[in-house]
Amino acid sequence: MKNLHLKILAFTLIAVGVGLMWHKVTTLGLPLTPDEETTIWTVEARIKVEAEGGPAQVNFMLPGNLPGFNVLREDFVSGRFGLSRENDGLNRQALWTARRADGQQTLYYRLQIADAQNASRTSVDGSQPPYPAVPEYSEPYGSAALTVLDEVRQESADIASFTRRLLNRYYHESPDEHVQVLRGGIEDDLTHVENVIHILAGARIPARAAHVLELREGMRRVDTVPYLEVYTGSEWVPFNPTAGQRGYGESTLVWYRGDAPLLYTSGANAIDVGFSAARTARAVVDVAEQRAELIGSRVMDFSLFSLPVDTQNVYRTLMLVPIGALVVVFMRNVVGVKTFGTFMPVLIALAFRETQLLWGIILFTSLVAMGLTFRFYLERLKLLLVPRVASVLVAVVLLMMSMSIVSHHLGLEYGLSIALFPMVILAMTIERMSLVWEEEGASNAIQQGVGSLVVAAIGYGVMNYPPLAHLVFVFPESLLIILAIMLLMGRYSGFRLTEFWRFRSLFRETSRT
Amino acid sequence: MIGFLRRVREAGILGMNQRNADFIMEYNNRKYYPLVDDKLQTKKLAQDAGIRVPELYGMIEIERQIRQLSVMLDGRDDFVIKPAHGSGGNGILVIAGQQHGQYRRASGLLMPLEDVGHHVSNILSGMHSLGGQADKAVIEQRVQFDPLFDDISYRGVPDIRTVVFRGVPVMAMVRLPTRRSDGKANLHQGAVGAGLDIATGQTTTAVCLDKPVHAHPDTGAPIKGIQIPGWLDLLTLAARCHALAHLGYLGVDIVLDRTQGPMMLELNARPGLSIQLANRASLRHRLRIIEALDSIPEDARERAELARELFATPGLQETADVAGKTDDIAAEPSGTNLSRVSL
C-alpha cells in the first residue's frame, strides 16, 4: 500500500502522544483545559492520650482507599513516639510506640487530599470477602428479620436495590412493627449499621461498616460517621444508611472500614480523638505535580513545570510556534495562500500576541509601507544585495524606534510593543516584497503581502486560543500529534482551494461537453 | 455542489500538491536538480549531446569582473544576461540594440552600461536565484526568433514549453510575451500561453493571466491555428532532453531561431501547471497514460511519435469550438466557483 510507512509512522506518533496525554490525565489528573481549580482539603486528626509511665502503644486507623480523592501528602507529628505504619489489606494503621511515656501526649496526623476528577464515588474495588453464614437469631428478632428480608427480596432486583429497600425500611421515620423489633432500643448510629450488617447476613450478603468524615469548611473536633458497604459480587457499593442513598458524597472522606476501633491504646489512656478540616482551592496543575511526586511518577520530571519559572515562560511562547507552523502548512498547501517567506507569518503572529491584533496589523502595515518606500529609494543607489538588506534593516529599526517614541508621546501604549516585531524578518520581507513588486507587478506584491497578513492573523487567532496554548504547554507530547498531522499533510496531493479558482474555466468546460 | 465536485474529478486537472507529491518527488531525483538549475551546466550538457543551444558569449562570476563588462560586451549589442540559477524567468535582461551609447532593452527602454553592471551585480549577489545563494551571470546570444510569432507577441522571445514525462512529450504550449510581461515569456508575469496540439503542432486555445483568450492582448491578432514548422523534430528535441537531465518529469523550453531552427533554451525540474489552462486539457490523464505504459521506446523520435499517437486530439475541432465560446466565461463576474466550494 502506498504511503503505508508514513501512515504507520503518523499513527505511532499519534498513539504515543495520545497515550502519554491519557496517562497524565487519568493518573495525575492534569487538566485538559486551563484555569481549572480543584478543591484541596487539609484534614487533621488530633489524638490525645494519657500515658501511664511505662511502655505505651497507640494504634490509629489511617485512610487507605479514599473513593473520590487523591492523596497529595500526609504528615505525622509524633512527639516522643516512634512511628511505624501497617497495612492489613483493608486498612492502614499508624503505630506509635514509646518505651517510656508519661503524662499527656498529643499526636497529630495531617492529610492533604484533592478532589479526583471523574473518579467513581459509587463503587469501591476490593477483593471478594467470604460469604457470611446465616446467624442464629434469637426470637422474636429472628422471625422479624426473616420476614423483612423476605418482603424486601420480593421488591428488589439485585443486591444494591435489595440493600436500598432494606435501609429505607429500617430507617423509615415511622417503622413498622417488624422493624421496631429489629431496632430494639438501639440509639447509636454505628450500632444501627452493625445491626443492619447482622440482618444482611441473614440473606448471606457480605457487608461492612465504613467510618467516614463529612468534610465541612472549618469543622473542628468532629467524629466519624458510619456508612454501609455491601458486596455485590464484583465490587463494594457504599450506602449512606440513614438516607438510603448509594455512593459517597462529594465531601465524604472514608477513613477506615470494618469493626476495629479507630483508636486502640495500650499502656496509655485515650482521652480524645478529634478531626478538623480546612478547604482551599488550587490550580489543578499544581495538584497534579504534587501528586506525581507522591506516587513517584517520572512523567512530571520531563514536564516543562520542572524548569525555572522564567524559562517556563519562554517555552509557553515557543511551544506555540509548531501550532503556527501547522497553520502555515494548512494555509499554503490546502488553501493555497501565497505568503512572503514560509514562516514569516508565524513570527509576525507571535509579535501580534504582544501588540494585539488590530494594532499589530496597523503597525506592521505602516512599517512595511515605509520600509518599502525606503527600499525603492535605495534602488536608485544601485547597492549590492547584502548591504542593501542591512540598510533596510537599519531603516526598520529607526522606524520602529520613532514609532514607539511618537506613540508614547501621544499616549498610545500599544505603539511601544512594536519593539517586539522581528526586525530582521521585516527587513527580509521588505526586500522580497520590493523584488516581487518590480518583477511581477504591484498587484502580485500586495496580494502576497495581504496573504502573509491574513495567515499571520489566523495564526495569531489559533495561537492565542488559551485552551490550545494550555494543551501544548501542559502536554508537550501533543506536539507529536501535530507532527503526525504535518507528516500526513506532507503527502496531501489533492487540490488547493485557490486552484478551484485558478482552473475554474476548465471545470466549467467539462460540464458543457 | 456535488455536481461541481464530480466535474472537478472528471476534469482531471493536476494540482500543485499532486504535481509535487506524485510526479516531481516520484520521478525526479534530487541529485539531478543542479543539472537543470544551473543553466551553464545545462548548456554544456546539451552541447555535448549535440543539442543546439544559444551561444555563450561570456560569464561573470565575481563582482570585480563587472568592470570588464564593457570589454566583454564590446561589439555586441544584441545579447541576453541572465542568472545561471534563475527561476521563473526573473533577472533576465534582454538587450536588443544600442542607441546613443546606451543599451536598448527588448521593452524599448534605454539603459546605460552602468545599469547593466548593477543588474549583473544583483545577479551575482543571488537576488534572482533559488534560495538566494551567490550566483553567476550568463551572457549569451539573443535568439533571432522566427517571424512566425511576430503577430502574436509583443517584443521578447516567444518560446515553446513542452512537458516531457518519462521521455515522452505530454503537453506543449507556446508562451507569447506581452507588454505586461515586459518581454518575458512567463505566464504568471502576464505572458500568453497558447496550447499546442501534440499531433499537429498547431496552436489551439490560449490563456492569459489564467483567463481564456483567443487574441493576443497587445496585437489583437488571433492566436489559433498557427502551425509550428518541423513539429516532429521539435518534439524529438524535447524528448531527447530527458536523457540529458535524467528527470522523469521535466519542462523543456525551446525557441525557434530564424536561421538556426529550434534551440533548447533551458530545462525546468518543476514546470508550472498553467499549461493545462493553455491547452484546456488535463495533465493528469496524460501523465497516468504514460505511467501505465510498460515500456518506453529508447529512441527519442519514436517517443515523439508515440506522443503524437497517444495524444492526438480526435476532437480538436470540438475543443476549438469550445474555445470560441469561452469569452462569456471569462467575462463572468468572479467568485461563483470558489464560493460553491467553500459552502
Give the CA distances from residue B161 to residues A99, A502, B92, B171, B242, in Å, rounded to whole numbers and listed in that order. Answer: 101, 20, 17, 8, 14
Separation in Å, CA of B222 to nearest CA in chain A: 20
The band of B233, judged by pLDDT with boundaries at 50, 70 and 90, is very high
User: Which DSSP helix (H) or strand (E) runs through B122?
Assistant: helix B113-124
Rounded CA gap, A497 and B15, in Å? Answer: 10
pLDDT at B340: 32
Are residues B337 and A504, on separate chains, in Cβ contact within 8 Å?
yes
Number of Cβ pairs < 8 A linking chain A and chain B: 102
Contact A384, B63 (CB under 8 A): yes
Query: Kindly report the CA angle at A153 between A150 and A154, in degrees rounded to 5?
Result: 90
B131 or B177, greater pLDDT: B177
Domains in chain A: boundaries: 313-475
**Residue B26, amino acid:** E
pLDDT tens digits for range B99-118: 888 898 877 788 888 889 88
Q: What is the average pLDDT score of chain A?
A: 84
Residues of A with CB under 8 A from a CB of B: 333, 336, 382, 384-386, 435, 439-441, 444, 491-513
pLDDT at residue A513 above 60? Answer: no
Rounded to an integer, the average pLDDT of A137-142 is: 82
User: Which DSSP helix (H) or strand (E) runs through B325?
Assistant: none
Complex-level ipTM: 0.73
B212 → closest Cβ in A491, A500, A505: A505
- What are the cell numbers at B295? 515500456
A505 → closest Cβ in B3, B318, B329: B329
Query: Kindly report the CA angle at B265 between B188 and A436, in degrees rounded to 5?
Result: 30
Task: Give A507's contacts in chain B (Cβ within 8 Å).
Answer: 4, 7-8, 11, 13, 337
Are residues A441 and B190, on separate chains, in Cβ contact within 8 Å?
yes
pLDDT at B301: 92
Task: Give A441's contacts in chain B (Cβ within 8 Å).
Answer: 180, 189-190
Rounded CA gap, A200 and A204, in Å? Answer: 6
Q: Which residues does A209 contact at the CB level (< 8 Å), separation at least 6?
A: A190, A193, A194, A197, A226, A227, A228, A229, A257, A258, A259
Task: Give B126's contacts in chain A (Cβ within 8 Å).
Answer: 385
Domains in chain B: boundaries: 12-53+143-332, 55-142
pLDDT tens digits for range A313-334: 888 888 899 999 999 999 999 9
Probe site for chain A from B13, B280, B327 (most A CB atoms < 10 A): B13
Contact A222, A38 (CB under 8 A): no
| Residue A120 DSSP label | -
Helix boundaries (H) for A65-187: 141-154, 159-170, 177-183
- What are the cell numbers at B259? 536561421
* Residue B236 neighbours by CB distance under 10 Å: 20
Separation in Å, CA of A481 to nearest CA in chain B: 22
Give the CA distances from residue A221 to residues A265, A465, B255, in Å, rounded to whole numbers and listed in that order. Answer: 20, 47, 100
pLDDT tens digits for range B34-69: 888 888 999 999 999 999 999 999 999 988 888 888
B7 → closest Cβ in A386, A440, A510: A510
Rounded CA gap, A356 and A419, in Å? Answer: 13
pLDDT at residue A370 above 90? Answer: yes
Q: What is the average pLDDT score of chain B?
A: 83
Beta strands A82-87 and A207-214: pairing type? unpaired
Task: Give A440's contacts in chain B (Cβ within 8 Å).
Answer: 188-189
For the B12-53+143-332 domain, the top CATH level (class) is alpha beta
Rounded CA gap, B83 and B38, in Å? Answer: 9
pLDDT at residue B324 above 50? Answer: no
Which range, of A98-102, A115-119, A185-189, B186-190, averages the lowest pLDDT? A115-119
- A424 exposure class (CB count in 10 Å sphere: 0-12, 13-18, 19+): middle
Rounded CA gap, B81 and B65, in Å? Answer: 14
Which range, of A43-47, A111-115, B196-200, B325-329, averages the lowest pLDDT? B325-329
* Residue B64 neighbours by CB distance under 10 Å: 8
Minimum Cα–Cα distance from A385: chain B residue: B125
The band of B316, judged by pLDDT with boundaries at 50, 70 and 90, is very low
pLDDT at A118: 67
A210 or B334, greater pLDDT: A210
Contact A241, A196 (CB under 8 A): yes
Separation in Å, CA of B302 to nearest CA in chain A: 31
Rounded CA gap, B65 and B50, in Å? Answer: 30
Rounded CA gap, B318 and A493, in Å? Answer: 31
Probe site for chain A from B17, B107, B111 (most A CB atoms < 10 A): B17
User: Which DSSP helix (H) or strand (E) runs through B194?
Assistant: strand B192-196
Which range, of A216-220, B143-147, B245-249, averages the lowest pLDDT? A216-220
B11 → closest Cβ in A496, A497, A510: A510
Rounded to an integer, the average pLDDT of A321-348 is: 90
Q: What is the CATH number of domain B55-142?
A: 3.30.1490
End-to-end CA distance of chain B: 8
Probe site for chain A from B171, B280, B341 (most A CB atoms < 10 A): B341
Rounded CA gap, A214 and A212, in Å? Answer: 7
- B288 exposure class (CB count in 10 Å sphere: 0-12, 13-18, 19+): middle
Rounded to an integer, the average pLDDT of A151-171 is: 86
| Residue B145 DSSP label | B
